[in-house]
């Protein structure tokens, strides 16, 4: 093939790239299979072979296993590079074809309107008598403009090829730096490692080597967190040991154990790592940090209180019924955490509860874990779903505005930052489940300011259902529900007419009420009602989201026995379409008017 040129930036076939990606995919799979096979051979051989011969053979096997892991990363990084290049090239080809079409059309137009006079080449003057007609000039200008666009596309293609070359180099270098055949990389090599190279290099180290590396180069953690969760998920899955027996719990492979022990703060918060492993790593961090803080009483009492709250909320953890996982734990600064009720690696229906202002780990972790458990129980009951298929996350992993930070509630910056964290968590969940071949049906439930956090996250990260409860307003960057990455008809919103805080949040910030018709969500009732079996449900009489266990015994959105909680559970189970549209601003206004009339009439009727 002739190479592409500035005049033809769209030249070239895409199919060889797709063919290469397909071959690489088979090689990635085979390398992963070989890693598992070798690991299983190593474990098996220990039970029937011992002695010097075995020891030498096992050492060779370890090197061989490292080589296959290396090939896995090499192929994966190359496949990613090829796929990215193919996508970019397809886009360039498509745009180039359109631009070339415009040039052709403009040339034809010029020929028709100029009476055939003069050349049409850029920069060559027209020689026709009396000059070209205005129409012809327009066609020429259009063609020149299109040619300039073609030039820009050529620039873009040069950039895309440069990136492809850099990606290929990185894929190749990874084998040199991360492969098992060349020994441990130097500090300089570690500092220059990214992507699959970094991941595969790390999985060849022991726990103490990992801890030393992290201590000497803290940027390693950040570089890992910058990776695409899908890349992390594929890497982690390739490190898996043999699958557990039915009903058994997954055990880490030696490489995974080393990573959990050597850098628990990183592995516990790394999106794309399987949740059972994150739970283990976060438990290591939690225990270690509590011990450290207890050894120096009074130094950071607030942090210690938060971590103790996490420990208390976790109960028996994965040994409990239902099991609870410490999904994430950040101990830098004010602690942030998320706890799941149910097993996130296997649950079919996964819901995130995103709280609003004034929420802290120290003050609210237990209450939100309880709310998650209540919601989990209700889902099992409403959907007749086995509990093993459910998981609900109390997601307190963002820096919510404080209870008195009225200014911050009006602003969007904390919601935007929280939304970015939530989005990444959602990507991590999707990647882990995609790597294990068990996709999940995901719901995000945002309460109050948390609904704005959810909206920011769902601009990019897709989920199956979204619910906004007592919203303190949705950012204007999401003009309608249609602008969220949620299937049409699966964005829901509710606000009780006794909720006094939601309208204040919306009014002071100028953000949108998601129950308003203009937002185009499915509004539903949070007032008194009955469930599908005719059992009465309470209406909310507090912004909450949790009120029934308070001294006043009030009800809010996530309390058991409320219409709001019941409808939200149905939505999370994919039954939202059957919920009656209700609870719009007009509906609330009518109810508030009736309340006032009753207040006025009551003394007269007594």
Partner 1 sequence: MAEYRVEPDCLLEMATRLSAGADSGPPVSWPSLHACCSPTCDAAFDEVSDAFGVAWQSAETAVMDLVVGAVRAADAYREVEARTAVEARRAGEVAEGAAP
**What DSSP string runs through 471-510?**
-S-B-TTS-SGGGSSS-TT-EEEE--TT--HHHHHHHHHT
The sign of the CA dihedral 377, 378, 379, 383 is positive
CB of 511 to partner 1, least distance (A): 47
Burial grade of 556 (CB within 10 A; 0-12, 13-18, 19 or more): buried
Q: Which of 78, 200, 366, 431 binds partner 1 (CB under 8 A)?
A: 78
- Name, in order, each residue with C-beta under 8 angstroms of 145's C-beta and a sequence gap of 6 or more: none
Site for partner 1 in 511-550 (CB under 8 A): none
CA distance readout (Å), 481 to 346, 439, 468, 486: 29, 24, 11, 8
- The alpha-carbon radius of gyration of the chain (Å, integer) is 30
Q: Which of 32, 75, 237, 579 binds partner 1 (CB under 8 A)?
A: 75
Closer CB to partner 1, 50 or 477, in the complex: 50
Closer CB to partner 1, 24 or 273, in the complex: 24
| Residue 169 within binding range of partner 1, rule CB under 8 A | yes
Query: How many Cβ atoms from other residues are within 10 Å of residue 433's Cβ?
Result: 22
Closer CB to partner 1, 27 or 209, in the complex: 27
What is the distance between the alpha carbons of residues 438 and 434, in angstroms, rounded to a whole number?
A: 6
> Of 101-109, 171-179, 464-472, 597-605, which part binds partner 1 (CB under 8 A)?
171-179
The sign of the CA dihedral 306, 310, 315, 321 is positive
Closer CB to partner 1, 71 or 326, in the complex: 71
Closer CB to partner 1, 13 or 411, in the complex: 13
CB of 476 to partner 1, least distance (A): 43
Burial grade of 304 (CB within 10 A; 0-12, 13-18, 19 or more): buried
In 126-226, the DSSP E strands lie at: none
Closer CB to partner 1, 64 or 462, in the complex: 64
What is the distance between the alpha carbons of residues 483 and 302, in angstroms, rounded to a whole number?
A: 40
Closer CB to partner 1, 51 or 121, in the complex: 51
Site for partner 1 in 176-215 (CB under 8 A): 179
| Residue 154 within binding range of partner 1, rule CB under 8 A | no
Closer CB to partner 1, 153 or 213, in the complex: 153
Closer CB to partner 1, 171 or 457, in the complex: 171
Query: Which token pair is 211?
Result: 């801890």
Q: Which of 9, 24, 198, 421 binds partner 1 (CB under 8 A)?
A: 24
Q: Which of 39, 76, 89, 360 binds partner 1 (CB under 8 A)?
A: 89
How many chain residues bind partner 1 (CB under 8 A)?
A: 54
**In the 3-class helix/strand/coil scheme, how is 329-370 assigned residue by residue?**
EECCCCCEEEEEECCCCCCCEEEEEECCCCCCHHHHHHHHHH
CB of 152 to partner 1, least distance (A): 18
- Name, in order, each residue with C-beta under 8 angstroms of 589's C-beta and a sequence gap of 6 or more: none
The kind and range of the H/E element at 441 are: strand 441-447
CB of 186 to partner 1, least distance (A): 21
| Residue 151 within binding range of partner 1, rule CB under 8 A | no
CA distance readout (Å), 104 to 98, 101, 139, 147: 10, 5, 10, 11
Closer CB to partner 1, 3 or 222, in the complex: 3
Site for partner 1 in 26-65 (CB under 8 A): 26-27, 30, 33-34, 37-38, 41, 44-45, 47-54, 57, 60-61, 63-64
CB of 97 to partner 1, least distance (A): 15
> Of 163-171, 251-259, 447-455, 461-469, which part binds partner 1 (CB under 8 A)?
163-171
**Binding footprint of partner 1 on the chain (CB under 8 A):** 1, 3-4, 12-17, 19-20, 23-24, 26-27, 30, 33-34, 37-38, 41, 44-45, 47-54, 57, 60-61, 63-64, 67-68, 70-71, 74-75, 78, 85, 89, 161, 164-165, 168-169, 171-172, 175, 179
């Amino acid at each position: 093939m002739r190479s592409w040129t500035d005049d033809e930036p769209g030249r070239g076939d895409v199919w060889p790239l797709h063919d290469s990606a397909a071959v690489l995919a088979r090689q990635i799979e085979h390398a992963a299979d070989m890693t598992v096979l070798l690991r299983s051979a190593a474990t098996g051989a220990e039970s029937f072979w011992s002695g010097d011969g075995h020891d030498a053979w096992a050492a060779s096997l370890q090197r061989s296993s490292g080589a296959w892991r290396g090939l896995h990363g090499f192929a994966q990084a190359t496949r990613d590079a090829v796929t990215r290049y193919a996508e970019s090239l397809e886009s360039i080809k498509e745009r180039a074809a359109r631009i070339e079409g415009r040039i052709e059309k403009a040339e034809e137009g010029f020929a028709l309107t100029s009476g055939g006079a003069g050349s049409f080449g850029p920069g060559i003057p027209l020689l026709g008598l009396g000059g070209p007609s205005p129409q012809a000039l327009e066609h020429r200008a259009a063609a020149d403009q299109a040619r300039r666009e073609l030039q820009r596309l050529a620039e873009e293609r040069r950039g895309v090829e440069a990136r492809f070359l850099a990606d290929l180099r990185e894929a190749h270098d990874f084998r040199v730096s991360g492969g098992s055949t060349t020994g441990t990389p130097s500090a300089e090599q570690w500092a220059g490692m990214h992507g699959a190279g970094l991941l595969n290099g790390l999985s060849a180290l022991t726990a103490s080597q990992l801890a030393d590396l992290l201590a000497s180069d803290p940027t390693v953690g950040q570089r890992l967190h910058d990776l695409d969760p899908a890349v992390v998920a594929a890497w982690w899955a390739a490190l898996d040991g043999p699958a557990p027996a039915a009903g058994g719990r997954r055990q880490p492979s030696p490489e995974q154990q080393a990573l959990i022990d050597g850098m628990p703060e990183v592995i516990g918060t790394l999106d794309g790592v399987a949740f059972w492993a994150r739970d283990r790593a976060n438990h290591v961090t939690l225990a270690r940090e509590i011990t450290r803080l207890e050894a120096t009483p009074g130094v950071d009492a607030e942090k210690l209180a938060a971590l103790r709250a996490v420990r208390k909320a976790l109960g028996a953890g994965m040994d409990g019924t239902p099991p609870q996982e410490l999904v994430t734990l950040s101990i830098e600064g004010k602690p942030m955490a998320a706890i799941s009720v149910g097993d996130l690696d296997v649950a079919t229906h996964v819901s995130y509860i995103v709280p609003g202002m004034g929420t802290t780990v120290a003050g609210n972790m237990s209450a939100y874990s309880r709310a998650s458990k209540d919601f989990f129980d209700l889902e099992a009951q409403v959907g007749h779903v086995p509990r093993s298929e459910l998981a609900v996350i109390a997601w307190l992993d963002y820096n919510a505005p404080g209870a008195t930070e009225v200014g911050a509630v009006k602003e969007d910056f904390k919601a935007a930052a929280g939304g970015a964290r939530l989005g990444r968590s959602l990507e991590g969940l999707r990647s882990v489940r995609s790597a294990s071949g068990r996709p999940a049906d995901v719901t995000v439930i945002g309460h109050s300011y948390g609904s704005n956090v959810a909206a920011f996250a769902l601009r990019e990260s897709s989920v199956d259902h979204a619910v906004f409860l007592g919203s303190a307003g949705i950012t204007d960057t999401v003009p309608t529900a249609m602008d969220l990455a949620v299937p049409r008809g699966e964005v829901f919103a509710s606000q009780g007419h006794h909720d006094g805080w939601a309208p204040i949040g919306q009014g002071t910030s100028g953000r949108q009420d998601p129950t308003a018709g203009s937002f185009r969500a499915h509004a539903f009732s949070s007032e008194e009602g009955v469930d599908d079996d005719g059992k009465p449900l309470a209406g909310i009489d507090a912004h909450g989201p949790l009120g029934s266990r308070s001294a006043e015994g009030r009800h809010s959105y996530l309390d058991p026995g409320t219409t709001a909680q019941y409808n939200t559970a149905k939505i999370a189970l994919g039954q939202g379409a059957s919920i009656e549209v209700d609870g719009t601003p007009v509906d609330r206004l009518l109810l508030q008017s009736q309340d006032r009339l009753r207040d006025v009439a009551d003394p007269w009727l007594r």
